[in-house]
């Protein structure tokens, strides 16, 4: 019986060593999982940081787009002013052309009137010369 007890104790000792080995393996696995979790936590933290950076960049892009929209609006406004000024200039040029045209027509009328006046004066001079000639010849 001692022998059986001794065998049982040896078997138990072997079993305990086996259990200790399994426990050590489990502890190693747990430590590995803890290490992996720490690594995952670090990566999650990095991703969160990068997301924060992306959000900041998106905010900057939105701000720049707002500035671009403002500049485009200002350019549109300036173009409208230029268009208005061009229309005003066209109106002035049209008035200027009308004035030049009316001055030309006035000049033509004045020239025609002078030509008619000259003809009238020539006719009068010719009649007066005839009358003078007739008066001289009657004497």
Sign of CA dihedral 57, 61, 63, 67: positive
Note the pLDDT of residue 11: 87
- Kindly indicate the confidence band of residue 24, based on its pLDDT and cuts at 50, 70 and 90: very high
pLDDT greater at residue 104 or residue 134: 134
Which pLDDT band, with edges at 50, 70 and 90, does 59 fall under? very high
Q: Is residue 24 part of a domain?
A: yes
Instruction: Give domain status of residue 131, yes or no.
Output: no
Has residue 133 been placed in a domain?
no
Residue with tokens 């003078």: 132
pLDDT value at position 112? 65
Residue 125 included in any domain: no
Cβ density class 100-114: b for 16+ within 10 Å, e for less = eeeeeeeeeeeeeee
The pLDDT mean for the chain works out to 89
- The answer to the question of residue 132 being in a domain is no
DSSP string covering 67-117: HHHHHHHHHHHHHHHHHHHHHHHHHHHHHHHHHHHHHHHHHHHHHHHHHHH
pLDDT tens, position by position, 65-112: 999 999 999 999 999 999 999 999 999 888 888 888 877 777 676 666
Q: How many domains does the chain have?
A: 1
Asked if residue 5 belongs to a domain, the reply is yes
Share of the chain above pLDDT 70, in %: 91
Question: Does 69 map to a domain?
Answer: yes
* Domain with 38 in it: 1-98
Is residue 115, in this structure, part of any structural domain at all? no
């Amino acid at each position: 019986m001692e022998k059986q007890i001794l065998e049982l104790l040896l078997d138990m000792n072997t079993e305990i060593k086996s259990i200790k080995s399994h426990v050590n393996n489990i502890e190693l696995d747990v430590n590995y999982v803890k290490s992996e979790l720490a690594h995952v936590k670090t990566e999650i933290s990095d991703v969160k940081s990068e997301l924060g950076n992306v959000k900041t960049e998106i905010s900057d892009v939105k701000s720049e787009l707002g500035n671009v929209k403002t500049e485009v609006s200002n350019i549109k406004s300036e173009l409208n002013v230029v268009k208005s000024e061009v229309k005003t200039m066209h109106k002035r040029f049209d008035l200027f052309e009308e004035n030049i045209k009316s001055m030309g027509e006035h000049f033509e009328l004045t020239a025609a009137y002078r030509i008619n006046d000259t003809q009238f004066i020539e006719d009068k001079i010719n009649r007066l010369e005839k009358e003078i000639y007739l008066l001289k010849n009657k004497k």
